[in-house]
Structure 1
Amino acid sequence: MSNEGIIPAGTPEAPPSPAPAGSIVVGHDGSTDADYALTTALGLADQLHAPVVIVRAWSIDTAPKPANWEFGYVSSFAEYSEAVRAAVIEDTAASVHAFPGVSVDYRAVHSGAAKSLIEASREARMLVVGSRGRGNLAGLLLGSVSDQCARLAVCPVLVTRKRPGR
């Protein structure tokens, strides 16, 4: 069943607050390119003794169903956000555990990916993104998330690309 036309109860989240100054922000949408960007960000953070903030942007169409979801019940924005946060924690656990000395925070942001990452990285040391994500036709028409971040973020942006065979 499609979630199209369903408006969750509650109020959408406010724009994301910036990540702590000096942190490394990394976008993670669940793609293999995002996994590579995360590993790169964690490696840099380990060397620089910087915290990492993992950001996942979401919409109703991309969010997993909340734990309390059932047919006929419309979950709140907070419930969807918690489901997305739980998913990003699960999706990134192996990479995060490989860097036990790095402090990690997770953010699920109800907004477009580029906007979420640019806002979250306003005070960051660096923003790390993969060269390709789970984009679609809109990405082709509007420009990729990595391109928008490279053009509009106020901090340095590292766009990672995994080489074949690595």
Structure 2
Amino acid sequence: MAENKPRIVVGVDGSPGSRAALRWALRYAEHSNGHIVALIACGIPALIDVVLPMSEDDVAAQAERELRKAVEETRVLLGTRAPVEQRVVRDHAARALLDEAQEADLLVVGHRGHGGFVEALLGSVSQHCVHHAPCPVVVVRCAAGWGSQT
């Protein structure tokens, strides 16, 4: 924790749930004078005899664009100029988030609700983070009406 500022890691993948998590994290950081690390994970699984339409570098570049877009749009929506450190990690999302959370005070992830009973359950990444994170975890649900916004 640098200069007693809480270090807040937030997972971003462009989904409505991750954008809700980013909004929550930015608001929390403003109130706590925290430092945000927004992380997007991109990894190409090892597949045999499958031709992928993009190279690993193209996937990472696309992930970086998605992260930058989500952060910029969310900052505009909230009217904040809070600094956000942006990281693209070539790994599975849960592993990347847990690695980054090793030095964090808080990990914030989104919930990918599917409606009905399934909405009461956590997604695999958020569930893995809740069970294995070395710090407190906030799982943010995407409120109705926010799905099309940032």
Category of TM-score, reference length = shorter chain: 0.7 to 0.9
2:38 to 54, 70, 75: 54
- Name the structure with the higher helix share: 2
1:31-71 deviation line (CA, Å, top 9, x unaligned): 1011111100000000000111111111237xxxxxxxxxx
Kindly state the Cα deviation for residue 156 of structure 1 after the two structures are TM-superposed: 0.5
Structure 1 equivalent of residue 144 of structure 2: 164
Structure 1 equivalent of residue 50 of structure 2: none
Q: Distance in 1 between matches of 2:106 and 2:79?
A: 18
**How many residue pairs end up in the alignment?**
128
Matched, 1:96 2:75: yes
CA contact (8 A) 1:50 1:102 kept: no
Q: Distance in 1 between matches of 2:27 and 2:136?
A: 16
Q: Distance in 2 between matches of 1:159 and 1:105?
A: 20
CA contact (8 A) 1:42 1:99 kept: no
Structure 2 equivalent of residue 37 of structure 1: 21
Q: Distance in 2 between matches of 1:33 and 1:83?
A: 19
Matched, 1:117 2:97: yes
Structure 1 equivalent of residue 117 of structure 2: none
Under a length normalisation based on structure 2, what TM-score does the superposition of the two structures give? 0.73
Q: Distance in 1 between matches of 2:79 and 2:109?
A: 18
Under a length normalisation based on structure 1, what TM-score does the superposition of the two structures give? 0.66
Structure 2 equivalent of residue 7 of structure 1: none
5+ long unaligned stretches in structure 2: 46-53, 114-122
Evaluate the alpha carbon distance shift between residue 86 and residue 164 of structure 1 in structure 2; reply closer, same or farther with a 3 A threshold: closer
5+ long unaligned stretches in structure 1: 1-18, 62-73, 134-142
Evaluate the alpha carbon distance shift between residue 99 and residue 26 of structure 1 in structure 2; reply closer, same or farther with a 3 A threshold: farther
Runs ≥4 residues deviating over 4 A: 77-80
Structure 1 equivalent of residue 10 of structure 2: 26
Give identity over the alignment, percent.
33
1:13-32 deviation line (CA, Å, top 9, x unaligned): xxxxxx97731110011110
Q: Distance in 2 between matches of 1:27 and 1:60?
A: 18
Structure 2 equivalent of residue 87 of structure 1: 66
